[in-house]
Amino acid sequence: MTDTTSRLHGSGICLAIEEAEKLNLEPSDLYSGQFQFSRDSTPPIAEYLSVKIGERYLHHSASLDIVRIFAADTLCAILIGVALNAEGKLLAGDLKLDLKYDSDLHRKLEEIIAGFVGRFAVFTSTPSGQYVYTDTVGEMGVVFDRETGIVGSTLPIILYRPINERDDFLHIKVQKSLGQYSLGYTTDKSCWRLMPNHSLKLDTFEQARFWPTDNALMEPRRLRHDEVIDRLIALLRQNTVGFLEGKPCLMALSGGQDSRMLLAASRDKMHLAKMIFGTDFGWNSGRDCDAAEIIAERVGLSFKRITGNKPKRWGKRVFLARVGYAVNAGGTDSIKIYNKLPKDHLLIRGNVFGLTRANDWNPRKDSVANPSNVRFGMKRLKMGQAISDEIRPSDLKKRYLDWRNSLPDLCRENSLDFSFCENYLPNSLGARNYSHTNVTLVNPFADRRIIMLCLAIPPLERKHLLINEGILNKTAPDLADIPFV
């Protein structure tokens, strides 16, 4: 069934419109920052802008930037969202590549896309066909309906019918933050999430890994520890400064390690941030802000503490409508806070990069020495109470093994780390980002080169904070007396 004819079998009205009517909100406001990619020339929301590439149309909110990419004066790709190139420069306007529009263009585009850093999706059209990609850790969530062929940001944007819930997940547990989807599953039976580092081929709607595919990418293993640390500092600085210089930015600072590393690596450029702030919901987050305030004062920057109450039922309903019921509601605490931030800014975030600490590895040495433990690997998918012994997808284990086996053999030894990037983050922070319409969240850590540098350090050494301490010892010795929160 094509996406155009699918309208004849449903209401003909995008689910996003119906969700907005229930909440008495304008659809273009409720679904600001979202998009649809389909054969239909009619946008799902009237106010969306449209651009054609190949046989399909990209319909998108006016709040999203697009970059048109050309090869031999032919439009071969569209990037939507925010991205830096491999040199740390913000992509904007038209990008003209010195490449031929031939059968080799598809492979070369994938190599270029692998070097982008930010929150984005890419739609390509080459002699090899049409493909879709998301960013390094799926911060720009992409879902698709195999039955209709429609691709988009969330389920309400791609569906012209009610969500047809899978019967092999306990969906209410996901909404209560007691579990999550993974391995591409979503709430709907025919809809799937595009996994990071995979391409979606639009004539078959099958996903295939495009990065990493070569053991050579594990080359950083040959580096000395201090060389790894130096390279990590340089890349974190490049990416953070690239965002600061490319667009108006806000910087979220806490008492933890990740945001401190970002600030320290690029402190001489932090004055470019329009605001450095912390969020205070109560006791724990208040202590976070106390530490962040001391850090900011120590390096000569002003700090703003933003307070707010947790959202009520109305706020959670808006959250779930925007994200399409496909992620847990753990991010609802930040809804009111983010709505207080100035519009159309990037929000640089540094509090989600668990690879530096090997978060997904078991602290016991025997488990670290046995990364092929399938049972433990599946547990780290963090589906939690969303599945049970009685209710779970019948193909769950097969999908996990197929996913793990798609990694090159040396990378497979770090399958738990790749699972963190490709299975956990897209189903927690990634899709949840659509709930924040004022700002665009970007993560300077989400760089494929940074991922491979982190994996050069053995998990046990990362768990002992060798990376974090190495970066902070070199960039922020003057902050060492400020305890982490």
Contact in structure between 459 and 365 (CB atoms under 8 Å): no
Closest to 192 in 3D by CA, of 207, 177, 179: 207
Cα–Cα distance measured from residue 254 to residue 187, given in angstroms and rounded to the nearest whole number: 33
Distance, in Å, from the CA atom of 263 to the CA atom of 251, rounded to the nearest integer, reads 9
Query: Partners of 84 in the beta sheet?
Result: 90, 117
Which residues, 6 or more positions from 41, have their beta carbon under 8 angstroms from its beta carbon? 50, 52, 57
Q: Which of 126, 125, 131 is nearest to 200 (CA)?
A: 131
Between 3.30.360.10, 3.90.1310.10, 3.30.110.30, 3.60.20.10, what CATH number should domain 5-209 receive?
3.60.20.10
**Helix, strand, coil percent content, the chain, rounded in steps of 5:** 40, 20, 40
Q: What is the pLDDT of residue 10?
A: 52
Residue with tokens 């933890």: 256
* Amino acid, res. 122: V
SS3 201: strand
| Residue 126 tokens, joined | 């080459």
Residue 82: φ, ψ to 5°: -130, 130
8 Å CB contact between 113 and 122: yes
Q: What is the pLDDT of residue 6?
A: 45
At position 342, the amino acid (one-letter code) is P
Helix H or strand E encompassing 376: helix 374-379
The pLDDT value given to residue 8: 35
Note the pLDDT of residue 239: 97
Q: What is the pLDDT of residue 333?
A: 67
Rounded to 5 degrees, φ, ψ at 25 are -120, 155
CA distances to 5, 86, 143 from 110, rounded to whole Å, are 32, 13, 20
At which residue do the structure tokens 């962040």 appear? Answer: 292
Farthest-apart Cα atoms in the chain, separation:
65
Report the alpha-carbon distance of residue 172 to residue 25 in Å, rounded: 25
Average pLDDT along the chain, 485 residues, taken 10 residues at a time: 43 90 96 97 97 98 97 97 97 97 97 97 98 96 96 97 94 86 94 97 97 84 89 97 97 90 94 92 79 94 85 80 74 72 90 77 63 83 90 94 94 90 86 85 94 90 89 94 88
Q: Which of 280, 236, 242 is nearest to 257 (CA)?
A: 236
In 3D space, the residue among 139, 355, 149, 132 whose CA is nearest the CA of residue 236 turns out to be 355
- Annotated domain spans of the chain: 5-209, 217-355+427-479
Q: Are 264 and 307 in contact (CB under 8 A)?
A: no
Query: Is CATH 3.40.50.620 correct for 217-355+427-479?
Result: yes
Query: Which pLDDT belongs to residue 5?
Result: 39
Question: Using CA atoms, how far apart are residues 248 and 268, in angstroms rounded to an integer?
Answer: 17
- CA distances 77 to 41, 66, 88, 99, 342, Å, are 18, 10, 20, 13, 31
Pairing of strands 143-145, 304-307: unpaired
- For residues 293 and 300, the answer to whether their CB atoms sit within 8 Å is no
- Give alpha helix (H) positions in 155-309: 155-158, 171-175, 225-246, 258-265, 283-298
